[in-house]
């Protein structure tokens, strides 16, 4: 059987769209710039991580920093 945290029957399984954890209550949602409601999330951390996902995907790879030792050895 499907039971929730408070012991009542659960009609449907809802999972956090970020981590996949079961959400027994309504969950957390946020509204995007274009007005779409995105969620459910199991915690505020999951919501913030989801919001920053696009910026992390668009980020360039690691930046190579010139090693100061290479200047002193030449």
Question: What's the maximum distance between 2 C-alpha atoms anywhere in the chain?
Answer: 73
Closest CA to 43 of 22, 13, 59, 57: 22
- pLDDT at residue 40, as a whole number: 93
Q: How confident is the model over 49-58, as pLDDT tens digits? A: 998 888 888 8
End-to-end CA distance of the chain: 72
Evaluate whether 27 touches 42 at the Cβ level (below 8 Å).
Answer: yes
Q: pTM for the whole thing? A: 0.62
Instruction: Output 65 or 17, whichever has higher pLDDT.
Output: 17
* Per-residue pLDDT tens digits for 1-42: 556 667 666 677 889 998 989 888 888 999 988 999 999 999
Instruction: Copy the structure tokens of residue 70.
Output: 């290479």
Torsions phi, psi for 52 (to 5 deg):
-85, 0
């Amino acid at each position: 059987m499907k039971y929730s945290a408070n012991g009542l029957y659960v009609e449907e399984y809802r999972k956090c769209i970020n981590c996949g954890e079961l959400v027994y209550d309504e969950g957390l949602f946020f509204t995007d710039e274009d007005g779409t409601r995105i969620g459910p999330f199991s915690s505020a951390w999951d919501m913030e991580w989801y919001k920053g996902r696009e910026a992390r995907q668009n980020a360039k790879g690691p930046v190579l920093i010139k090693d100061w030792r290479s200047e002193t050895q030449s």
